[in-house]
Chain A
């Protein structure tokens, strides 16, 4: 039951998300099984719920890759500067007229920005050739703050609608999702998911420490680089399309690790399901609580994710090591 509980919860949450909305859907059940029969259901609500599922899975897997690559429980895309880098890469590409937000090109630029920012964090944290967890987190926070400020400056200086607002990049929003955007996020989720799946056995060995992993025949630098590429692709795809949604990358892998243990191959599926579940629930709440208005989804994910994480730590305060 423990194994399938998140999957069942996800199916129920997705059903509720498709059913609940500002607009009443006439003959909901018949409309649901005839694609295209109801414009609001098929052109607005289902694409949005699908985007929530994909984005949640991407952000959660990005968090898992960050934690696995750094062998650090606190590593998370927003802490490593990855999400801020993805936002900056996308904003710069949009402002230079190369791409539009939500396009495959924007995702590629977001992924490049994410990879550049993450690499910068690692480079700066390793200046004295002593890559400690403490240095990584502190430098990551600094890089993230700097890049977020640059995104804010660009948004303020160049007032263009297609570059979105600073609140979009900081808090995220699924409100502007269209059917066309789903292709890019789906490609991202598949590429990132396949890479993550393939390197997951190596990440298991990396969790024993760099020296042990090396003696077990793992090319530590190569595995870490591939994991960071997966992290950048996943975070780049999600952030460049819907902005930064807080806590998913941190909370989902921890919850999965707590319930299912440390095996990365096992964690990949469950982390993706839990991430998708968190974002779908948060998005449903964000568009239901204050109808007809919407709350920023980043606020809702923080309100859900933080207590769940605290509860887990309260129950078992060494989630990372005990499994």
Chain B
């Protein structure tokens, strides 16, 4: 919405809308749970959701209050962004702005290809719960990594979108660069904590401290902020690879 230059008509947001420009917009969720009372109190004409927005009862309450609810397609890969942008633009009656934004997104993504085939592994870390996963095909990160012209070593050889990270499996993947979410990295004690996890020190990424962290709410958001992320990611990978 913000990227469609429609910030002025936004009256509420969810917790994952963390752009600085939206800081003053009231939150209408608790965690990722929609609070129907908060939403109704904001008196919106339209509520935009996707299939993951819930709980369902809250959405039903909003609808029964006479508020129009539009469900847009979910977005899990780069290819999904244009469909979602078009759906949101159509919902607010601004299809032309949607088309312009999509053109800008496509152009930005095309500019970000690396010259070398860097091998990258995406790790999903929640150290406080002892959750250590390696991204595989369909993790979302695979489409970002392929967009910058790098190789997602997890997607190339692991069976599921998210796979348990074992010391030997990571050492075998031997990525040149490890990509993580910022809070995930923090949860294992930062770069030094990550390097202490068995298997990490044995990879090229571990040996060269080639760790890249990206804001949790941005990495797999696949929206209008993604193109700038792809460009920044390409630059960071080039920098740590040198």
Does A96 interact with chain B (Cβ within 8 Å)? Answer: no
Does A175 interact with chain B (Cβ within 8 Å)? Answer: yes
Q: Is the Cβ of A160 less than 8 Å from the Cβ of B128?
A: yes
Cβ contacts under 8 Å, B198 to chain A = 44, 48, 175-178
Q: Nearest chain-B residue to A43 (Cβ)? A: B202
Does B61 interact with chain A (Cβ within 8 Å)? Answer: no
Q: Is the Cβ of B172 less than 8 Å from the Cβ of A165?
A: no
Q: Nearest chain-B residue to A181 (Cβ)? A: B198
Q: Is the Cβ of B129 less than 8 Å from the Cβ of A165?
A: yes
Does A219 interact with chain B (Cβ within 8 Å)? Answer: no
Does A164 interact with chain B (Cβ within 8 Å)? Answer: yes
Does A97 interact with chain B (Cβ within 8 Å)? Answer: no
Q: Nearest chain-A residue to B131 (Cβ)? A: A165
Q: Nearest chain-B residue to A163 (Cβ)? A: B128
Q: Is the Cβ of B128 less than 8 Å from the Cβ of A23?
A: no
Cβ contacts under 8 Å, A165 to chain B = 128-130
Q: Is the Cβ of A44 less than 8 Å from the Cβ of B129?
A: no
Cβ contacts under 8 Å, A39 to chain B = 171, 202
CA distance A39 to B158 in the complex (A): 21
Does A159 interact with chain B (Cβ within 8 Å)? Answer: yes
Residue-wise interface mask of B (56-74) relative to A, using a CB-CB cutoff of 8 A (1 in contact, 0 not): 0000000000000000000
Does B188 interact with chain A (Cβ within 8 Å)? Answer: yes
Partner of A162, one of B167, B168, B189, B199: B189
CA distance A287 to B128 in the complex (A): 22
Given the contacts A44-B199, A176-B198, A177-B198, A292 and B169 also touching, CB distance less than 8 Å: yes
CA distance A40 to B188 in the complex (A): 22
Residue-wise interface mask of B (69-84) relative to A, using a CB-CB cutoff of 8 A (1 in contact, 0 not): 0000000000000000
A291 smallest CB distance to B (angstroms): 8
Q: Is the Cβ of B128 less than 8 Å from the Cβ of A159?
A: yes
Residue from the set A23, A165, A167, A178 with the largest chain B CB neighbour count within 10 Å = A23
Q: Nearest chain-A residue to B187 (Cβ)? A: A161
Partner of A22, one of B127, B172, B201: B172
CA distance A44 to B187 in the complex (A): 23
Does A7 interact with chain B (Cβ within 8 Å)? Answer: no
Q: Is the Cβ of A161 less than 8 Å from the Cβ of B168?
A: no
Cβ contacts under 8 Å, B163 to chain A = 292-293
Cβ contacts under 8 Å, A40 to chain B = 168, 171-172, 202
- 3 closest pairs, A vs B, by CB? A161-B127, A159-B128, A293-B164
Instruction: Give 9 A-B pairs besides A44-B198, A292-B163 with Cβ atoms closer than 8 angstroms.
Output: A21-B168, A44-B171, A163-B128, A165-B128, A165-B130, A173-B130, A176-B198, A178-B196, A292-B169
A-B contacts, 7 of them at CB < 8 A, read: A21-B168, A22-B166, A24-B172, A161-B128, A165-B128, A292-B164, A294-B166
